[in-house]
Structure 1
């Protein structure tokens, strides 16, 4: 069993056995020389703190989005993508501050993406004037802005479509497949995350959008048909 160290008058005893008048007096000076002063110890401690802080910052920059899952209840992370109207302007999430945002990540070659586009357009027709911004970010790597515009025109889409050919938004939002959609409230919080195609004019989705927009719970009682409801507004 290891012996407990005893301290007498502030000095350690029992390092090499009990002290005696005939003991080797060279031991203590050598140990003091190999030790560190209080000041040196503080320098080491501060150095470690700085290194840990720098490492934590670098880790957060490199893997921040993986450390903090993008899920319902979390703040929507910032993104940027480019317009396809020929101006090549950068749009960011901050540009939609004060609006309810339906952020849709998609690609022109994706059949499920195409399948849900008509319901996104109908949702835009119903609530675009009330503050709902549908922002569909194409992550096509090789498709040109012109081909994406042609796709949107053929589909009759009038909501905002952006392009991120580098796919940065996929990493930022931890996209697992296409399409993937996030409904973001005016508070900047994600209220719904959906992977795969959806009917965005379903009763549940309509109720969510109306709630986030601060509109009454139902448009027309006794009907679940969003197009009929639109006609009654």
Structure 2
């Protein structure tokens, strides 16, 4: 009986160590990813292409009219798992930086089953930043979107200073926002 208890405790300790080591290695990999992102050569900026789209409430939004404030421009769809993964981060950082940075979510509406799916997504994730509807996919084509999510960081002068492909983490998003301020 005592051998079984010792054996069970030993297995528990070993399993705990393995889990702890895996967690630690994962944390270090994330730090290296952040470091490589910002220690790599400077991203070559270029003028953001202007566009006008209707938001989810039918209001027209024109990118060039937002000049003077940095813009986080995120292309997404409600059916996209990585988009669903990153949305809480956008919601959180929008609340933190909404006085200084404009957040625009460009929904690839032409890939959605219905606009109601977009409305449900907005409600489910408590999205309070502006959601634009790219109903024909023209803005996505203009910005050469090859996969979603993709996020563009546009400084107050209307220059794209960085493009991030894939789901972005909170630390990365915040570093890029601060870079625009």
TM over 0.5, shorter chain: yes
Task: Tell me: higher relative CO, structure 1 or 2? Use CA pairs within 8 A at least 6 residues apart.
Answer: 2
1:79–1:172 Cα contact (<8 Å) kept: no
Q: Do the aligned partners of residues 72 and 117 (structure 1) sit closer, same or farther apart at CA in structure 2, a change above 3 Å counting?
A: farther
Q: Name the CA shift for 1:104/1:145 in 2 (closer, same or farther; >3 Å).
A: same
Distance 2:44 2:109 in 1: 26
The one of 172, 176, 181 equivalent to 1:208 is 176
Contiguous gaps of at least 5 residues in structure 2:
1-42
Query: What's the CA shift string for 1:26-57, capped at 9, x where partnerless?
Result: xxxxxxxxxxxxxxxxxxxxxxxxxxxxxxxx
The alignment's C-alpha RMSD in Å is 1.6
The offset of 1:208, in angstroms, is 2.9
2:105 is the counterpart of 1:136: yes
CA distance 1:195–1:208, change in 2 (3 Å) = closer
Question: 2: distance between equivalents of 1:81 and 1:115?
Answer: 25
More helix as a share of residues? 2
The CA distance in 2 between the partners of 1:100 and 1:84, in whole Å, is 21
Q: Deviations over 1:48-93 (max 9, x none)?
A: xxxxxxxxxxxxxxxxxxxxxxx841111112221112xx222110
Corresponding position: 1:170 with 2:140: yes
When Rg is computed on C-alpha atoms for both structures, the one with the higher figure is 1
Q: TM-score, normalised by structure 2?
A: 0.71
Q: What does residue 123 of structure 2 align with?
A: 153
TM-score (norm 1): 0.56
Give ranges in structure 1 of 5+ residues lacking alignment. 1-70, 214-233
Q: How many residues were matched structurally? A: 138
After TM superposition, the runs of 4+ consecutive aligned structure 1 residues lying more than 4 A away are none
